[in-house]
Amino acid sequence: MALFDVYNQYPIELVSAKGMQLKDSKGSDYLDFYGGHAVISIGHTHPHYVNQLKSQIDAIGFYSNVIHNPLQEELAKRINAKLEENYELFLCSSGAEANENALKLASFHTERSKILAFSNAFHGRTSAAVAATHNTRIQAPINKSHQVDFIDFNDVEALKNHLETKNYAAVIIECIQGVGGLDQPDADFVRILRDLCTQTGTVLIADEVQSGFSRTGRFFSFQHHNIIPDIISMAKGMGNGFPVGGIMIHESIKAEKGMLGTTFGGNYLACTAALSVMDVLEKEDLEQKAAALESVFRAKAAMLQVPAVVKGRGLMIGLEFDFNTAELRRNLLFQHGLFVGSASNPNVLRILPPLCCTEQELNQLFEGLNQELKHE
């Protein structure tokens, strides 16, 4: 039976992985500077992660949310410790699902239906999440029934004009855009956004699906701007490959029975995966490591043979050239064994390795880049 053909795929079958290293069915080795869309946070098959999941599945792997699962409370406590104010945790199974629940909850809370998002945003491929994604090509007619407006980063006048109508349930923002190409708003704009949301009773949603869990050198990327969102959406690196997502909900937003729900969210294995990620992030100081490697990356980028603009923070970082990078990405993969990522901006290379990446491994990336850029 054929698969539904929706993915552009490389003809590579991976059979094993450890840390940054990947091996395919033909015995070829690769370094993972893409992390499977920024999912692998602590490294492939980290021993602590593997052992914890094995132990948990031997005990109990799943039951639904009709019973009390203390692992959920432990995870909520651990994430809350990274935040300045008190939040409550709702668990689900993916980033799109997290954003769906964030948008739904904002609408419940405000009794409004409009959403404000940003140019080049990506928030998922489902229902309201894809409606808030700035790409009409992946929106079906049913998605376009949602009321979503888009403005540019740093356009304070447009922001004021929209929010002062008091018609918007939420503003959803990636403080570093992922698929959009690693663009960031100015710090002053983010603070104005926070103030305007407060003044107009609009929920501020920080989409940390890709940028969260220490990838940018802070636990969440909005922390670079010293703001307090109302809802924080999470996934990807939260589970290091295990399907887990969630939203952190500020204590000012009150829960009602049945307003949100999920079958698989917060199951034993998902919580164990996320707690194991937290353990390793803290024990190996991967947040500080991501911040330090950003400096190394920037220094090496400055010495490239072809000018490039460094975009992003920490290990959610990349390079923007003045040419389409599709051929460069392919050559890095098949000539040098280096997985890197693309963006909606075709001139951008996204670099999203596991946070266990070493300076030596980063050197290998730049060696490959320099060899390929000789031909540009």
> DSSP readout, 284-352?
TTHHHHHHHHHHHHHHHHTT-SS--EEEEETTEEEEE-SS--HHHHHHHHHHH-EE-B--SSTTEEEE-
Whether 220 and 277 share a structural domain = yes
Whether 33 and 84 share a structural domain = no
Whether 302 and 255 share a structural domain = no
Paired residues of 348 in beta bridges:
320
pLDDT tens-place string over residues 49-90: 999 999 999 999 999 999 999 999 999 999 999 999 999 999
Whether 59 and 34 share a structural domain = no
What CATH number is attached to the domain comprising 211? Answer: 3.40.640.10
* pTM, 2 dp: 0.96
Residue that finishes a domain, picked among 237, 254, 283:
283
Q: Is residue 110 part of a domain?
A: yes
Q: Is residue 5 part of a domain?
A: no
For residues 304 and 369, is the Cβ–Cβ distance under 8 A?
A: yes
**pLDDT at position 158:** 98
Domain holding 369, by residue range, is 14-46+285-373
Whether 279 and 337 share a structural domain = no
Q: Is residue 328 part of a domain?
A: yes
Look at residue 376 and tell me whether its pLDDT is greater than 80.
no
Beta-carbon-side half-sphere exposure of residue 211 (alpha carbons within 13 Å): 31
**pLDDT at position 160:** 98
Q: How many domains does the chain have?
A: 2
Question: Region 36-47: what's the mean pLDDT?
Answer: 97
Whether 18 and 57 share a structural domain = no
Neighbours of 261 (CB within 10 A): 12
Q: Is residue 223 part of a domain?
A: yes
Place of tokens 């960031």: 184
Whether 277 and 294 share a structural domain = no
What CATH number is attached to the domain comprising 304? Answer: 3.90.1150.10
State the chain's mean pLDDT as an integer: 97
For residues 88 and 231, is the Cβ–Cβ distance under 8 A?
A: no
Residue that finishes a domain, picked among 265, 283, 301:
283
Whether 322 and 188 share a structural domain = no
Whether 144 and 185 share a structural domain = yes
Whether 33 and 75 share a structural domain = no
Question: Region 6-25: what's the mean pLDDT?
Answer: 96
Question: Region 292-303: what's the mean pLDDT?
Answer: 97
Look at residue 40 and tell me whether its pLDDT is greater than 70.
yes
Whether 88 and 173 share a structural domain = yes
pLDDT tens-place string over residues 344-371: 999 999 999 999 999 999 999 999 999 9
d(CA 211, CA 161): 29
